[in-house]
Amino acid sequence: MRSSLISTAVWFMATTVGLSGSESAAQGFEAVVYAAPDGGTIHANLYGGGSHAVLLAHGAVFDKESWHDQAVALSARDLRVLAIDFRGYGNSTAGDAGNALYQDVLGGIRYLHEAGAERVSVLGASMGGGAAGQAAVVAEAGEISKLILLAAVPVATPEQLQGDKLFIVAEGDSLRDAVEDQYDRAGEPKELVVLNGSAHAQHIFRSNRRGAELTEAIIAFLTD
C-alpha cells in the first residue's frame, strides 16, 4: 500500500558496560554488549522491557545515542528497544566478516530473542537500513517480525526481505527512486510512506513536527 504524510510546516551474553549503572539508568537505558555471529563485539543501549523488541540501526553519520529520543518514545509504548553502535563506531569492533554490518543486526536480533523477547522488529536508517535489510534477507524464518526501512541503502534481493515491511522516504531524498524500486520488488505485506520535504533518514527527526509525525507513524506500524 502506498501512502503519504502531508504537512505544510517545516518540519549471547550481555554485560553492562561504559556508563555506570546509575548514569545509564538516569538516562533511561542499560548499556550492554553482545556478540555478532562472526565474533564482532557490539555495544548497545537497551531501553524498556516489553515482550516486543525493536532494534535501531543508525546511519553513517550517527551512532546509538542518536536514537535516544525515539527509543524513549518507543519504550513508553511498552516496546523493548536496543539501539546499537555498528562495528567501527564507539567501542564496537568487527569480527571475521570485516565490514559486514548486517552481522551486527543479526547478533542484536538473536540477543533480544535470547533475552526473552517474544517478537523482534528492526528499524534501520540509510546505511543502517541497508544492514537491516540484508539481515532480513539472511535471517532464519521468524527471527524478524516487522522491518522498517527509513531511506535505506538498497539490498540486492529485496524479494527475499522477511517480515511485515514499511518503507519510508522523503519525496526529495536522492534515494527515493531506489526506495520505491525496493518497495515494488519486495513481497507482501508491505507499505510505502513518502514524506514531504527532502531530509534524509534520521535527519527528519530534527524537525519538531515532521519528526513527531514520523515517530508516530513508526509506533503505529509497530503496535498494529
Instruction: Give the pLDDT confidence of 71-83 residue by residue, as tens digits.
Output: 999 999 999 999 9
Read off the pLDDT of each residue in 197-215 and give the average, rounded to a whole number: 93
pLDDT attached to residue 27: 74
Extents of the domains making up the chain:
2-223
Report residue 140: phi and psi, to 5°.
-70, 150
Sort strands 2-5 and 164-170 into parallel, antiparallel or unpaired. unpaired
How many whole angstroms separate alpha carbon 118 and alpha carbon 68? Answer: 23
In terms of pLDDT, which residue wins out, 9 or 171?
Answer: 171
- With both helix axes pointing from N to C terminus, report the angle between 127-138 and 102-114 in degrees, rounded to the nearest 10: 60
Does position 12 have pLDDT exceeding 50, yes or no? no
| Confidence class for position 25, pLDDT limits 50, 70, 90 | low
In terms of pLDDT, which residue wins out, 26 or 49?
Answer: 49
pLDDT attached to residue 19: 46
pLDDT attached to residue 2: 57
| Confidence class for position 42, pLDDT limits 50, 70, 90 | very high
Q: How many CB atoms are located within 10 Å of the residue 74 CB?
A: 28
Cα 40 to Cα 82, 105, 149, distances in angstroms: 17, 11, 24
Length of the chain counted residue by residue: 224
Cα 186 to Cα 47, 133, 152, 174, distances in angstroms: 31, 11, 13, 20
Does position 63 have pLDDT exceeding 70, yes or no? yes
Sheet holding 15-16, edge to edge: 2-5, 190-195, 164-170, 146-150, 119-125, 52-57, 79-84, 41-47, 30-35, 15-16
Read off the pLDDT of each residue in 47-61 and give the average, rounded to a whole number: 97
CATH superfamily of 2-223: Alpha/Beta hydrolase fold, catalytic domain (3.40.50.1820)
Q: Quick check: helix, strand or coil at residue 143? A: coil
Beta strands, E only, the chain: 2-5, 15-16, 30-35, 41-47, 52-57, 79-84, 119-125, 146-150, 164-170, 190-195
How many whole angstroms separate alpha carbon 72 and alpha carbon 47? Answer: 7
All cell numbers assigned to 155: 539490498
